[in-house]
Amino acid sequence: MTEPEKKQLRTVDAPFVALGPSGVAIRDRLKHLTPQDEKVLRLVGEHLGHLASLDLKVRCADGNDHDAQRWAARKQSLTAESSSRWAGSITKSTHDQWALSRRCQLVHIQCLETGIRTLTHRLSQPIGERGTKKAPGGYRSKSEWFHKSRRLHTLEHRLGVARAEREAGAVNVVRGGRGLLNTRHNLAKAQLTETKWRKRWEAERWFLAADGESGKRFGNETIRLTPEGEVSIRLPAPLAHLSNARNGRYVLTSKVTFKHRGEEWRDRVEANRAVAYRIHLDVARGRWYLTASWQRPLVQTIPLRTARADGMIGVDTNADHFAAYRLDEHGNPVGDPHRFHYDLSGTATHRDAQIRHATTRLLHWAKRCGVAAIAIEDLDFTAEKTREKHGRKKRFRQLISGIPTGKLKARLVSMAAESGLSIVAVDPAYTSQWGGQHWQKPLVTPRRKMTRHDAASVAIGRRALGHPVRRRTAPPPHDQSDRAGHRTVQADRGVRGREETRHPVTERAHDARRRAGTQQGTRATSASKTVRDARSTGTWVQDSLLTTD
């Protein structure tokens, strides 16, 4: 690759070891609840949910003028209707919701700005102008140009509204979820009746969550869970008459035994360390669940050099499978490619289960290989990269939108940490292009099929190991005795042609004549020296004389 071509490529960021999970969440079912238990849980959730909705309304009305004094006033107003700890949990949850909406608002503005820039550039180009790799061209027809000009005005109006809302501190928050709210207008498509939808909507708007407190008994005074599995709830003041224990508490008949991380949870509650709890109802199944969560101290990740010591597994993330290839510490592919398929159609629960199953199989294979790390791309697909730039490529847009990059990365990082593996994130620039160019064809054998995704996994693994993506090329020897030594050394970065495939070897002697199309010997065919096959000069003279006559 020449120097001008190098300058046109964007800078590739260095790989890094991703941080492990900062928290833990486990869940267990509340079994054998009595009708009285379910009644109390519904009343508490409905009452606290109503208070949470009122508090969110006040917080959104404050906008950018909110401060610590207003927060204290909100908490004080809620304490009379619940308790100080319930009020603290509600106000903190409200603040987190508002902050999340604020961040999403900023991302939305950035998406609109990028889309407007793309539309403005393409509308300024002549109709039919071809684009380049750096910038898109003009639109194909006058009709498309007209519709895109209308879309430009629409995006500019949306951008103006979004900027005005951000300056005023106004955000849009839906308690219960915007998706479930929109489902109300498509009940037939969702296969729900109005009654079933109403039950789901009310259950999602309930509030039954309490933050943990270090130093308090069993790590939580509001929702208390003993090491023996007994669950008790501090009832709000208006519902204190429903208590069946001292100090206005209600003890459930169900016992909780965490099968997953039970020992770790028990060690925390016995040491009175903070544990947060949340109780929620799965309306579709008619089951109650309790989720326990706590924070973990940030563990120092292993150095990148240690992660590369035993080789690595490169993983290419796709819409329906993981493409993985094992590489040794020198960047050489080992064995055959592996693919771990998943189906991301259907409900959210089904998609999550598919991702967990594929990730589990990938981690088990990595443990059998004996590597210490897995390399993945640091992907972050956003709307402005697909809608305006690739508007006609609908299948490509659907492909990118179908890859849940955030969920896949978060799930892989958390599950890999439990398996003792590290995750190395690399820059995704040119991995598919260079992988297919330099590794797809050389790795094909009569019994091995290589796809572009498999070749991309090799490129990802080599980048994580610190090697260039391009293959090694053989420098020419000094002569036929091959005094250059081993001829598979790594070509330097400045060597031209280093990215090309290996040229055919022509120094082999045993089949040189067959490849050259010649027979044995190197001289031309000479005349026969026998009397029978000797040429007659007289005949030649006679023929020439006859020809002359």
pLDDT of 114-150, one tens digit each? 889 989 999 999 998 887 777 788 888 999 999 999 9
Rounded to whole angstroms, how far apart are CA atoms 434 and 12? 13
Q: What pLDDT digit, counting tens, does each position of 290-322 carry?
A: 999 998 876 667 888 899 999 999 999 887 889
Phi-psi region of 272 (alpha: psi -120 to 50; beta: other; left: phi over 0): left
What number is the average pLDDT over the span 435-445? 89
Question: What pLDDT is stored for residue 508 in this prediction?
Answer: 47
Indicate whether 358 pLDDT > 70: yes
Q: What is the model's pLDDT at position 542?
A: 40
The pTM for the full model equals: 0.73
Q: Which of 399, 464, 460 is nearest to 433 (CA)?
A: 460
pLDDT score of 198 = 94
**What per-residue confidence (pLDDT) applies to 499?**
54
474 — pLDDT class (breaks 50, 70, 90) = low
Higher pLDDT, 482 or 257: 257
pLDDT score at 347: 76
Owner of token pair 């969550």: 209
What burial class does residue 333 get, using C-beta atoms within 10 Å of its C-beta: 0-12 exposed, 13-18 middle, 19+ buried? buried
Both tokens of 360, joined, read: 């589990």
Exposure b/e, 16-53, CB count within 10 A at least 16 = b? ebbebbeebebebebeebeeebeebbebbbebbbebbe
Cα maximum dimension of the chain: 141
pLDDT band at 242 (very low <50, low <70, confident <90, very high): very high
CA atoms within 13 A on the CB side of 134: 5
Q: Which residue spans of the chain are classified as CATH 3.30.420.10?
A: 302-464
pLDDT band at residue 1, thresholds of 50, 70 and 90?
very low
Could you report the per-residue pLDDT of 490-517, keeping only the tens digit for each?
Answer: 555 565 555 555 555 444 444 545 545 5
Neighbour count for residue 438 (Cβ, 10 Å) = 22
The phi, psi pair for 304, rounded to 5°, reads -65, -35
Which CATH number applies to 302-464?
3.30.420.10
Instruction: Give the span between the Cα atoms of 362 and 412, in whole angstroms.
Output: 9
d(CA 110, CA 276): 35
- Tell me the pLDDT of the chain averaged across its residues: 82
Count the residues in the chain.
Answer: 549
Edge-to-edge strand order for the sheet containing 23-30? Answer: 23-30, 287-295, 276-282, 209-210
Residues 245-269: tens digit of each pLDDT: 988 999 999 999 898 888 999 999 9
Q: Which helix (H) or strand (E) holds 41?
A: helix 35-62
